[in-house]
Structure formats: C-alpha cells, structure tokens
Amino acid sequence: MAEEPKPVLVRERLDVCELDRARMSLLNPALIAQKLEDRTIDENAKPLIELTMKEGLETVWDRFEMQQPPCKYCEAGTSCARCTMGPCRIIPPHRIRGVCGADADLIVSRNLLDTIATGAAAHSDHGRDIVETLYLVGSGKTKDYGIADPEKLRRLCEEYGIATGNVGPEKLAAELGRAMLEEYGMVKNTLQFLNRAPKGTQETWTKLGISPRGIDREVVDCMHRIQMGVGADYVNILLQGLRCSLSDGWGGSMMGTDVSDILFGTPSVLTSKVNLAVLQEDQVNIAVHGHNPVLSEMVVNACRDPGLIELAKKNGAKGINLVGLCCTGSELLMRKGVPMSGNHLNQELVIATGALEAMIVDYQCIFPSLPRIASCYHTQIISTSSKAKIPGSFFFDFSPGNGYLTAKAIVRMAVENFKNRNPQRVLIPGVPVPLMSGFSNEAIKGALGGSFKPLIDLIAAGKIRGAVGIVGCNNPHIRHDYGHVTLAKELIKRNILCVETGCAAIASGKAGLLLPEAASLAGDDLRAVCESLKIPPVLHMGSCVDNSRILVLAAELGNALNVPIHKLPVAGAAPEWYSQKAVSIGAYFVASGVYTVLGVMPHITGSPAVVSLLTEGLKGAVNASFAVEPDPVKAADLISGHIERKRTELGI
Ligand code: XCC
Ligand code: SF4
C-alpha cells in the first residue's frame, strides 16, 4: 500500500511576538463595545472579536483600521503602475495624463478590466480543476473519485452532442471532460452553455460582439489589452470585460458547478446548522476553507475513516467534527449537509475559538494572515494547492491522483494535534442556528413538482413579485453581514423571493433566514407560498461558482416565457462584495440582462465616463446596468422599483 505523504513547512513557522500582542491589545471597555457593534451583527462572532481585541490578536478589522485613510487615487482607480515609465496618478487640473498619455478613462477602465480578468480566471481555473478531475476519472487515472450523478452526466453529454447510447459512464466522463477542456482554448471558438440562454439574450451578445470564444482566450485577451500601448478606448476595453465575464458565468463557473454535481452529486434539499458554535468542545475540529470540492470531498471521506476516528478517541476526543467555511463550505453543505462555521470575515475567528485543530485550505479568499493568528493557538494551517502556498502553513501537494491518501494524512495530523489544545483557552460562543440548504435548480424543480411552471405562475399571478440573486462576500467596509441580512429581509417583506450563494447565503443562514420559519418575516403572499411548499423565503443555491445556477434559473424562466433574460422581473445584488471574482460575477449578471446593485463602490469614480457607462450606457447595449447603493434598505427600494417596472412591461 502506498504511504501517506508528509507535509512540508512553507518557509518557517510564524510566531506573533508578545510585544506585538501587547501593542495591539485594547483595554477600554467602552471602545471595545463600540467596535463590536461597528464590526458585525453576527452575535456568535462578537465574544470572539472581543477576545481578539483584548488579547491583541490582530484581525481583518484591525488591519482595515490601520489602512485608513486609503490612497485616494487608488480608491478612484486613477493610479497606474503597469509599466516603469510610471507609476502615474491622475491629479487634475495639471496631471491629467500618465507618461504614456493614458487619461483617467483609460486608466480606470484598464484597471477594471484587470479586475474582471483576475476574477474570471480564478473561477474558471477552479472550473478547470473540476473538469480535469472528471477527465481523470473517465480515463481511469484516479480511483478516488467516481460518478455520483450518472444521469446528469448523460444529460450534459447530450447537450454537448456526445453519443450516449450504450456507452458506459467512464467513457462518457472522458469524452465530456475532453470536450469541456477544449472550450478553454480557442479551437471551437464558442461555448456550448451559451445555448442555454434565451435566444434574445444570445442575439444581444452576438450583435454586440461579446460572445466569448474560449475561456482562457478571453482572459488572455484582457491581459493583452492592458499591456501599455494596446487598448486605448475605454468603451472597447469594457466590452472585453463583459465578454470575459460571460466566459466565466456561462463557461468556467458553469462547468465547475455542473461537473461538481456529476462527480459529487447534484444537491437536494437537506438540513444542517451554521455559525461558529458548530465547533465541538469534545471533538477534533477540522475546518475546510477555500473553494474546490475536489479537496474537501476527500476530507469528508477521510473524516469518516474508522481508523482515524479510533485514533481521535485514543487521543481523548469523542470523534472528528468537520466544518466548512466560505465557498468550499457551501459545496459541502449543499451536497453533504456538513455544518458551516461561517463566512469570509469569520475565518480568523474560527481559529480564535481555540478549539480548531486544523484549517485545511485550497485557494481563493484565504487570508495570508491565518498562520499568524494560528501561531497564537495550537491550530495548524494546512495548504494544499501549489498555486496557493502560504508562509507558516504545512503544505501537502494535493492532486486528484493522490486525493484520498493525502486527505487521510491531513486528517491524521489534525487528530494528533488534539492533545496540544489548551482547554483553558477554548471559547465557543452560543448555539448553532439550523438551516435548510441544497437548492440546486433540480431540487427547486423537485420542490415545485417537477417543473418551473408553478413558479412562473406564482410570479405571473403576483404572489411572488420577482426573484433576486443576493451574492458575494463580506467586506470590512460594511458591518459584517448587515448588508446581506438587511437586504434579504427587506426584499422578502416585499414578496420578492431571494436566491443566494457564497458568503451572502451564509450570512442569511446565521440570521435564521434559510429556515421555513423565516416565512413569517415575508410579505403575506410570499409567506403563503413558502408555507405551502415548506421552503424558506431565502434559498441557498450554493457557492460562488454556483451563481451559474442562478443564470440557468433565469435562462429557464426566460425560455419558458420565450423572452430574453432582461425582460424578467429579476435582479442581482452584491451588498458586501470585496473580491475580483465578485466583479466578474456582477459583470456577467449585467451582460446577461440582470440589473445588479452593488453595496460597495468599485474603484472607478475617477472616471465619470466609466461610471456613466456602467450605470446608464450599458442599458443601450445589454439592456441592464449596475447601480451602487451602500444602504441595503435603499438598495431594496431600487430593486423592487426595477422588478415592478419589469412586471408592468411584461403586462403582469
Ligand atoms: Fe470569497 Fe467564495 Fe466572496 Fe465569500 S463570497 S468572500 S469570493 S468565499 Ni464567493
Ligand atoms: Fe504610467 Fe502609462 Fe505606464 Fe500606466 S502604462 S504606469 S499610465 S506610463
């Protein structure tokens, strides 16, 4: 039998010195109380934030304060350091062009294109890792993974024109994997899933010349354009941003979602629990953080290994408790009901419970600060992606070929670390909140009796006024979870159904909105619908790549009514977004015809022309636009106004 791999410490073990902590620590109770209120509405997080302040454990909020005030040129998007003729800043009235001659519009739009390309690349590369795993399964190069949803595999093969009659799932997996991997390049020059969109929406893309040609190709095209001396017209640059984002939403992310369903199972409705109190005092606690289920699914299996559970008991624990964090947590919650410890701004606090033996990370949204705070406890940070090595972490070179063995080695490390826990320092505040999850489109259809028709009828009858996708992150610019929870509550009050992904959905979960009982907070009509279907008014549709599920939902509604997506009474919102990935998501929502309200201003205010293009001009191109509104109550007004206008235009 092959031997379990051993970790390599990345660089050296980090240690936060006592002096640093003494300098950071706060003693003034009034100041602590004030900061707690300003920082979060997550009640379970508050005692831990308080602890970090008192003990001088630096967190994201402290670093945010230390970064104030921000550089106003970077904030406005008018600084450029792309080449060494610069760096340049636009400072009117005299310094209005960079050394190369780029003006504010060009610098802002180039920076934004860079942001979109980064986000699209992150999502699509994650998608590629999943598709590659499918291909490896199909070609027999890994035995650790299998096909969990052969029916969906067949369905997708048919969509791709792959003959399925009498062909076994392995061969189909290999063929589908290969066909999808081809779409990353440019031989085919189009993406299969674009055909899922309503005809009218596809026509808009064609007319505007923004139909993506290949996933990698669009990212590379963006990178080419932002090289000095290439793109100089801000409109043309931003159109490429839309095309690249479409290659994410209808390409890399959609493949990520659908192939994850094939490999790990299509989610169906289930119940679980959420918040920091899902950690268990008497068990080995392991958190998985990041995005890729190829890793976390193996960790789930390893945590069930009888030998490792036995070892945990030998070490004095009652068992092994696996919890999720951020999007990989959403993947496990949706498919396996694994409890969720929190969202983006909870990541350092999970460690501050003092009860976490290991945090296993892959990539994206992982604070480089984690090993620092972990060094104040016994917690081990375990990194697993060669793309995301983190100083102070233990690195395992995880790949689908060695998946299970590596996962076992990691879990073993965590189990053996239990004895190093200091019980005196354990603080697990409060109790978990129950929730309902697993609302894939297949599951929603199932709950509706097999098709979206009843949903369409309810929307047509005005019982549900419309649907809003609330997505995205946390951001210390916004009181943690306040934007998400307030917006969702305001919308359901107005009989608008919310579908959520990523950290937005986790915020709703912690606030109790992912429970059927939350129907009591909804308007009368939506409440009646939720009560009769026994569903929450806010539906958890998965991780951030699963925003593609929201696109598919919109597409199916549009196809059923024979209208393009922009005619539907739907909208998008990202109340607390921070990430480049969120910009790509926002861009593909808008490019697909979905009006989208952001709670945080992107770095574009230095170019009134770019602001006006994104908030107004795009309506003439893709029939949708962005709005920015930090106040979630006002955002709800904007959204419900939009939904009512769309209803009137549809004549319903
Ligand atoms: Fe990251 Fe995906 Fe944002 Fe959360 S919502 S902070 S991107 S974990 Ni995706
Ligand atoms: Fe300055 Fe132009 Fe170089 Fe940017 S690309 S740093 S604006 S010279």
Query: Mind listing the pLDDT tens digit for each residue in 602-612?
Result: 999 999 999 99
Closest-CA residue, ligand 1 atom 6, reads 473
Q: What is the pLDDT of residue 319?
A: 98
> What are the distances in angstroms from CA 16 to CA 64, 310, 319, 355, 536?
19, 34, 31, 19, 44
pLDDT at 470: 98
β strands within 343-439, DSSP E: 358-361, 380-383, 394-395, 433-437
Q: What is the DSSP string of 525-537?
A: HHHHHHHHHT--S
- Decide: 472 in ligand 1 pocket, CB within 6 A: yes
Task: Say whether 467 sits in a helix, a strand or coil.
Answer: strand
How far away, in angstroms, is 328 Cα from ligand 1 center?
A: 10
pLDDT above 80: residue 234: yes
User: 243 pLDDT exceeds 80?
Assistant: yes
Are 61 and 49 within 8 A, CB to CB? yes
Does residue 585 have its Cβ closer than 6 Å to ligand 2? Answer: no
Over residues 209-219, mean pLDDT: 98
DSSP 597: E
Query: Which residues fall within 8 angstroms of residue 91, CB to CB, at 6 or more apart?
Result: 73
Alpha-carbon dihedral 603, 604, 607, 612, rounded to 10 degrees: -160
Atom of ligand 2 nearest to the CA of 81: 6
The closest ligand to the CA of 344 turns out to be 1
Is residue 123 classed as helix, strand or coil in its secondary structure? Answer: helix
Instruction: Put residue 273 in one of left, alpha, beta given phi > 0 → left and psi -120 to 50 → alpha.
Output: beta
CA of 298 to the centre of ligand 1 (A): 21
Nearest CA to ligand 1 atom 1: 365
Please list the alpha-helical segments (H only) found in 494-607: 502-510, 524-533, 547-561, 580-591
Residue 188 vs residue 35, higher pLDDT: 35
**Is pLDDT above 90 for 18?**
no
Residue 228 CA: which ligand 2 atom is closest?
5
pLDDT at 595 over 90: yes
561-585 per-position pLDDT tens digit = 999 999 999 999 999 999 999 999 9
C-beta 503 within 6 A of ligand 1: yes
Distance 627 CA to ligand 2 centre (A): 29
pLDDT band at 186 (very low <50, low <70, confident <90, very high): confident
> 502 alpha carbon to ligand 1 midpoint, in Å?
6
C-alpha of residue 81 to centroid of ligand 2, in Å: 6
For the chain, give the number of residues: 652
Among the listed residues 469, 468, 467, 480, the one whose alpha carbon sits nearest the alpha carbon of residue 578: 480
CA of 245 to the centre of ligand 1 (A): 17
What's the 88 CA to ligand 2 centre distance in angstroms? 6
Query: Ligand 1: which atom is nearest the Cα of residue 326?
Result: 8
* Alpha carbon of 95 to ligand 2 centroid (Å): 13
Q: What is the pLDDT of residue 187?
A: 82
For residue 280, the SS3 value is coil
User: Is the shortest distance between the CB of 581 and ligand 1 below 6 Å?
Assistant: yes
Band of the pLDDT at 241, cuts 50, 70, 90?
very high
Question: Which residue puts its alpha carbon closest to atom 3 of ligand 1?
Answer: 473
Q: What is the pLDDT of residues 509-547, one digit of tens each?
A: 999 999 999 999 999 999 999 999 999 999 999 999 999
Regarding the beta carbon of 614 and ligand 1, being less than 6 Å apart is answered no
Asked if residue 81 has its Cβ within 6 Å of ligand 2, the reply is yes
What is the residue type of 253?
S
Q: Which ligand is nearest to the CA of 78?
A: 2
471 C-beta closer than 6 A to ligand 1: no
pLDDT number for residue 262: 98
- In angstroms, what is the span from residue 89 Cα to ligand 2's centroid? 9
**Ligand index nearest the alpha carbon of residue 73:** 2
Q: Does 99 contact ligand 2 (Cβ within 6 A)?
A: yes
87 in ligand 2 pocket by Cβ < 6 Å?
Answer: yes
pTM for the structure as a whole: 0.97
291 CA: nearest ligand 1 atom:
2
**In 3D, which of 508, 332, 542 has the Cα closest to residue 439?**
542
Query: For residue 359, is it left (φ>0), alpha (ψ between -120 and 50) or beta?
Result: beta
Question: Whole-angstrom Cα distance, residue 111 to residue 588?
Answer: 17
The finding on whether 140 has its CB within 6 A of some atom of ligand 2 is no
Mean pLDDT of the chain: 97
- Strand 320-325, strand 340-342: pairing: parallel
Residue 434, pLDDT score: 98
Q: What is the pLDDT of residues 617-632, one digit of tens each?
A: 999 999 999 999 999 9
Pocket test for ligand 1, best of 332, 579, 581, 584 (most atoms within 8 A of CB): 579
Q: Which residue puts its alpha carbon closest to atom 7 of ligand 2?
A: 98
Q: How far, in Å, is the centroid of ligand 1 from the Cα of 503?
A: 6
Q: What percent of the chain has pLDDT over 90?
A: 97
Q: Which amino acid is at 205?
A: W
pLDDT tens column, 411-437:
999 999 999 999 999 999 999 999 999
Q: Is residue 119 within 6 Å of ligand 2 at its C-beta?
A: no
How far, in Å, from the CA of 582 to the mean position of ligand 2?
26
Beta bridge partners of 77: none
What tens digit of pLDDT does each residue of 101-160 get? 999 999 999 999 999 999 999 999 999 999 999 999 999 999 999 999 999 999 999 999
The pLDDT value given to residue 17: 79
d(CA 96, CA 204): 35
At 155-185, the pLDDT tens digits run 999 999 999 999 999 999 999 999 999 999 8
Q: Is the pLDDT of residue 1 over 70?
A: no
Which residue among 107, 110, 230, 234 has the greatest number of ligand 2 atoms within 8 angstroms of its CB, and so is best to mutate? 107
The atom of ligand 2 lying closest to the CA of 98 is: 7
- What tokens were used for 284? 């080995």
Helix/strand/coil percent split, the chain, to 5: 55, 10, 35
Residue 147, ligand 1, Cβ within 6 A: no
Residue type, 576: E
Kindly indicate the confidence band of residue 2, based on its pLDDT and cuts at 50, 70 and 90: confident
Residue 191, CB-side half-sphere exposure with 13 Å CA sphere: 33
Closest ligand to the CA of 584? 1
Cα-to-centroid distance, 419 and ligand 1 (Å): 32
Q: Say if ligand 1 is within 6 A of residue 566 CB.
A: no
- Compute, in angstroms, the gap from residue 525 CA to the centroid of ligand 1: 32
Residue 192 predicted with pLDDT over 90: yes
Q: From the CB of 100, is ligand 2 less than 6 Å away?
A: yes
Does the beta carbon of 8 sit less than 6 angstroms from any atom of ligand 2?
no
What is the Å distance from ligand 2's center to 96 Cα?
Answer: 12
Q: Locate the ligand 2 atom nearest the alpha carbon of residue 97 and give its number.
A: 7
